[in-house]
Structure 1
Amino acid sequence: MLGYSGGMGFDTFGISILNFNPDSQLNITTTQEIPYGFDAANVTMCDKEGNFQFSSNGVRVYNAEHKWMQGGENLNENENHGYILPQGVFALPHPRDSNLYAFFHGRKGYGVRVTKTWYSEIDMRENEGLGAVTSMQPLVQDTLLFGQFTAVKHGNGRDWWILFQHYCLEREDCKNNFFYKVLLSPDGVEVSEQKITDGLITETGAGQATFTPDGSKYIASQGDMFDEPAYIDIYDFDRCDGQLGNRVRIETVVLDRGERENGGIGGIAVSPNSRFLYFNTWKKIFQYDLWADDIKASEVVVAEYDGFVATFPTGFLYPQLAPDGRIYICTTNSTRYLHVILRPNEKGALCRVVQHAIELPTYNAFSIPNHPNYRLGAWEGSACDTLSDLVSTEWGREKMRDKVTVFRILHLMR
């Protein structure tokens, strides 16, 4: 779900609903009846049959009738439209009970940092199936990086790992930065810490974080100051014990204010086969081969912003891997367009970046849903592969192969 609340007198103000059910193929509808909108914080949740359960814009939780969910009325205050915190909210099926969801949200502080996070439980048996937030408790009450909340399945295929990176206030402290790691199990949440002491300075700023779809790597991008380079940190991740290791640092292009070569920081996404990392600034999309011996040396620019303007520039902002196996990228301004990487499993230009490929029925400002890989199963053959029948499900096949299909996307809403 993307867009502004309806009722503004224009049919281009409302909510665009991107539906990948039942066969992972994209269908887009719109409504002006939803009385709330989304900014950078965005999550929508369906059950395993694809039935819509609830959504959140980081300010409130809304039920399937798009009304305030009981207990979820006041996540954050003083926000009329939606919460400006990229990856600042997400939800997971709870390992304890198929009727429960674990819900996580943060509160931003001064500058590009988060000061508090909360863990809540949503019980869908309440209110005749419309659900209720039945508990909410502080989780990590510390200064964290701006958004970048993400999760991955535990190696047992049932539980979850959630990572938050600490915000270092003093540059010298950044040499010994650490992560908060949260284990979500049937017993609830358990918080631990892991220090990263490899001497690489972890600057603070905006960016995005993700796990590879196979769960073997955790990746985060950072960039705050213009005229300074952005960077990407790539870690090996052990889904059994939650340990990060073998950090690889990639220094990318120098950021600028957008009217020059690169623009500001965007985000990252990884191909369904877990091989290719995509990193973007406002003006360029880079591809890296995670299977290469020298990941930095594999860097290739797969797209440069073509200058298309729809009242405002439509540069590249936050990407998200979708159930159909493609990567969708929202724009740097309030526009009606999404960019698409049609074949992210392919190397170089064969990945087929199509700029402003989808014209949405309504405007969208900086928003893309925050979803981990719900399809990931157990880490087969590992020491923690102790539960049966919890296997991975493949991502949707990439069916957009030719010009005819691309034409259909471009004219989907016309």
Structure 2
Amino acid sequence: MRYYIVCLLLFSGPLLHAQLHDYNWMMGYSGGEGTDTTNEFGLMWWRFEDESLQILDHQHEGQAYFWENNTTFSDSTGHLFCYYDGKDLYNKDHMKMDGGMDWHESPYGTGWIAPQNGLIFPSFHEDSLIVFINSQHYSYDLGTFNQIAGQDLFFSKINTIENNGLGEVVVRKEKVLLDTLDYGKLSACRHANGRDWWIIVARYTFNEFHRFLLTPVGLEWVGAQEIGDQIMIGVGQAFFTPDGDKHIRYNSVGGGEQDNLSIFDFDRCTGLLSNPRQEAFEKVGFGGGAAVGAGSRYLYIGSGIHLYQYDLWAADILSSRVLVAEYDGFVDFNPTTFYLSQRGPDGKIYICGGVSTRYMHVIHNPDAPCPDCRIEQRGVALPNFNVGSVPNYPNYRLGPIDGSPCDTLGIDNIPLSRWRYEQDTLTPFTVQFYDLSDYEPATWSWDFGEGSSSMDTLPAHTFPGPGTYEVCLTVSNANGSDTKCK
């Protein structure tokens, strides 16, 4: 066990920002121009500008190869800055970053491929510094069926203004933890003070957790906690609910073994887990992943051919499981089953297949109970193949717990207005609006641009006729307000 501090000046300033660091996703795999004649391989750039998804085909740009592992990062205003595929670190021009080449030290030609193998953190106020944390993976003889595990934790720092804004790695892969770990599944949550970050790293026993705290003085190992039952290592995902109240781990073992779901309560002041709820269940098909809707209520588990929903507000969470969808048998070179998931900045949940396919499933309204959650199998057609990859993000737009004992830095939750809409295909003058606002708004005020208004969070509005309407949402709480117009 090590206690390690890397000194860096991060996080200063009393105000929360937009923090749109998840507004660009890179996926796919490319070997460079001339390597593909089928027009089915290459990179894809997902852009969520104004909370509306646009997918750009970057077929022959760059050399990245996203195979499960994916870390993509945007600046605070939502412009792509860099991404990591487990092998190299790339800049926004899709070229290998200065100091970011040959990141892996493994026999795998594609680098470290474990899902959730890296995380990137912004400075709280200083835009010229970001922190990159990653683990590696190898095959081990752990006396179990699944001979995979993670190993060690590395700390790096990137200066974002070097090389005319293309960035440079200025601290490279300093080892902050020497240990055998879970396979990927790096996860983080904002400290209750609204500035620092908790980083949870599981050991290969899966019931022992290293706690790190990223603060203005560096990355500090705070301690280890043993809680819950030991289970077998496998592929899967780990994350915190958007409100930071719960930590969730889904572990897909395969080979006839049972998959495992673990749900813990989380204390954002101490970084401690509590109240473990764990279950094992049989799975049909390959892979597994999970995500939670923005409202932190409904959990979705993609388990091979089945997609489940849990109610995290239920008195007995594990008993609340319902089947949302069953794989319909469609094959796109490979079966389009349910695998890794990620919630987009548009509030939807996107689910990739377990192996290479050209489709993603979509949960359009994940904050509603089934069937109103509206799962659409293969709801997004991709220009190129995706090999079981979605980016790994913490909730960048989580503020402090106002009034808590840890609310000591004078940082306030000042609401950030964000929203999207869907037009009804049968009655096109009727539009459904979805609030996506952050930092704990208490009131909502919609202006539909033709004299009508609403105080609801999810209003459906019928416009009087064809035309152009400027719609504005103002969100407010005791600390302030914000307005977003489209």
TM-score, shorter chain, exceeding 0.5: yes
Higher CA-based Rg: 2
Q: Give, in whole Å, the separation in 1 of the partners of 2:219 and 2:320.
A: 39
Q: Give, in whole Å, the separation in 2 of the partners of 1:180 and 1:275.
A: 26
What residue in structure 2 maps to residue 383 of structure 1?
405
CA contact (8 A) 1:316 1:330 kept: yes
Asked whether 1:349 is paired with 2:371, we answer yes
What residue in structure 1 maps to residue 458 of structure 2?
none
Asked whether 1:230 is paired with 2:252, we answer no
Asked whether 1:61 is paired with 2:64, we answer no
CA contact (8 A) 1:42 1:369 kept: yes
CA contact (8 A) 1:160 1:183 kept: yes
Please state how far the C-alpha of 1:42 moved relative to its aligned partner: 0.8
Q: Give, in whole Å, the separation in 2 of the partners of 1:265 and 1:33.
A: 29
- Pair 395,317 (structure 1): closer, same or farther in 2 beyond 3 Å: farther
Please state how far the C-alpha of 1:89 moved relative to its aligned partner: 1.4
* SS of residue paired to 2:319: helix
Asked whether 1:156 is paired with 2:183, we answer no
Q: Give, in whole Å, the separation in 2 of the partners of 1:361 and 1:394.
A: 33
2:128 alignment partner AA: N
What residue in structure 2 maps to residue 147 of structure 1?
184
Q: Give, in whole Å, the separation in 2 of the partners of 1:181 and 1:392.
A: 28
- Spell out the pairing of 1:15-414 with structure 2 (5 A cutoff): 15-21=43-49, 23-31=50-58, 32-77=60-105, 78-81=107-110, 83-95=112-124, 97-110=126-139, 111-136=147-172, 137-168=174-205, 177-198=207-228, 200-251=229-280, 253-255=281-283, 262-391=284-413, 397=419, 399-400=421-422, 402=424
CA contact (8 A) 1:266 1:318 kept: yes
* SS of residue paired to 1:127: helix
Please state how far the C-alpha of 1:393 moved relative to its aligned partner: 5.6
2:193 alignment partner AA: N
* SS of residue paired to 1:336: strand
Identity %: 39
Q: Give, in whole Å, the separation in 2 of the partners of 1:389 and 1:267.
A: 34
Q: Give, in whole Å, the separation in 1 of the partners of 2:417 and 2:356.
A: 30
1:212-234 CA-to-partner distances (Å, cap 9, x unmatched) read 00001101012314333222111
* SS of residue paired to 1:399: strand
1:12-63 CA-to-partner distances (Å, cap 9, x unmatched) read 2211111001x11101111122222211111111111112111110111111
CA contact (8 A) 1:319 1:327 kept: yes
CA contact (8 A) 1:42 1:90 kept: no
Q: Give, in whole Å, the separation in 2 of the partners of 1:395 and 1:404.
A: 29
2:41 alignment partner AA: F
Count matched residues: 389
CA contact (8 A) 1:223 1:229 kept: yes
Please state how far the C-alpha of 1:197 moved relative to its aligned partner: 4.4
Please state how far the C-alpha of 1:277 moved relative to its aligned partner: 0.8
CA contact (8 A) 1:40 1:82 kept: no
Please state how far the C-alpha of 1:374 moved relative to its aligned partner: 0.7
Q: Give, in whole Å, the separation in 1 of the partners of 2:150 and 2:125.
A: 28
Please state how far the C-alpha of 1:389 moved relative to its aligned partner: 4.1
Q: Give, in whole Å, the separation in 1 of the partners of 2:417 and 2:240.
A: 15
Instruction: Give TM-score scaled by structure 1 length.
Output: 0.89
Q: Give, in whole Å, the separation in 2 of the partners of 1:242 and 1:56.
A: 27
Q: Give, in whole Å, the separation in 1 of the partners of 2:344 and 2:188.
A: 16
Please state how far the C-alpha of 1:390 moved relative to its aligned partner: 4.3
* SS of residue paired to 1:35: coil
Q: Give, in whole Å, the separation in 2 of the partners of 1:131 and 1:59.
A: 17
* SS of residue paired to 2:296: coil
* SS of residue paired to 1:155: coil
1:148-175 CA-to-partner distances (Å, cap 9, x unmatched) read 011111111111111110113xxxxx7x
1:372 alignment partner AA: P
What residue in structure 2 maps to residue 2 of structure 1?
27
* SS of residue paired to 1:222: strand
CA RMSD, aligned part only? 2.0
Q: Give, in whole Å, the separation in 1 of the partners of 2:324 and 2:239.
A: 20
1:330 alignment partner AA: C
Moved more, 376-385 or 94-103: 94-103
CA contact (8 A) 1:375 1:393 kept: no
Instruction: Give TM-score scaled by structure 2 length.
Output: 0.76
Please state how far the C-alpha of 1:398 moved relative to its aligned partner: 5.6
